[in-house]
Structure 1
Amino acid sequence: MQYTKSIEDYLEAIFVVREQKGYVRVKDIADLLNVKLPSVTEIIKKMQESGLIEHTPYGEIKLTEIGENVGRNVWQKHKALYEFLKDYLKVDDDTAFKEACLIEHSVSQDTIEKLKEFLKNLEEK
């Protein structure tokens, strides 16, 4: 299923925050994405209705299996693109991070797999 850039960004944020902190709250997502709490609450409601997350008011946000897969996939795309831009094209750190976030929504999984293989081969040389 195809998700909007915004939904992918939120799922990625939930995935990343959970990996870092072990739990996720609305404020964590607002801080990471630099958005206001009401914006997060609105998207959280939509994601819950779509079966991507589980959330009770003022409680933790948990990814469902589908949400977990999407969040992990987007984060892996981001990391591969970031590494390529920063380490091989020598794009400065901030720009590489921001542009990886923009590109991750447009590139296919097949292309990412090929990029990962390319990077792995470069590292082995």
Structure 2
Amino acid sequence: HNQKSRSLDAHSVEVVIISFGCREGASHWLEETGFQYDMLLDSDRELYTAFGLGASVRKVLNFSNMLLYAEYVMDHMEFPRGLPSIQDDMFQLGGDFVLDEYGTVLFSHRCHSPIDRPTVDHILSAQ
């Protein structure tokens, strides 16, 4: 994450993270990941709906994702730890979007799985 953050910080973009979770969970995630960007909460998932981000058990729990997660565990890669007191919707899919100052969508990527993310270079090419 740090390399991606530095790459984004080198450009004149404002990064905002949108979460559907609660304030406690969002604060915990930011602390666990070390991200320094602003986070907005969309508890009613209005933005998720507006950008066409759905939820899918099949896309989250498919074999290739489970295999990749197992490889991450074997490589001792750490995942952000959740809080036992918070129930998250693990099937909600995310996305990456670039908007200009007028709200026009310049780039959109709706994730097909939790690990389906575009590269920073791909995102920045939309500017």
> Normalising by the residue count of structure 1, what TM-score does the alignment of the two structures yield?
0.30
> Normalising by the residue count of structure 2, what TM-score does the alignment of the two structures yield?
0.30
Task: Indicate the structure with greater strand content.
Answer: 2
Task: Indicate the structure with greater helix content.
Answer: 1
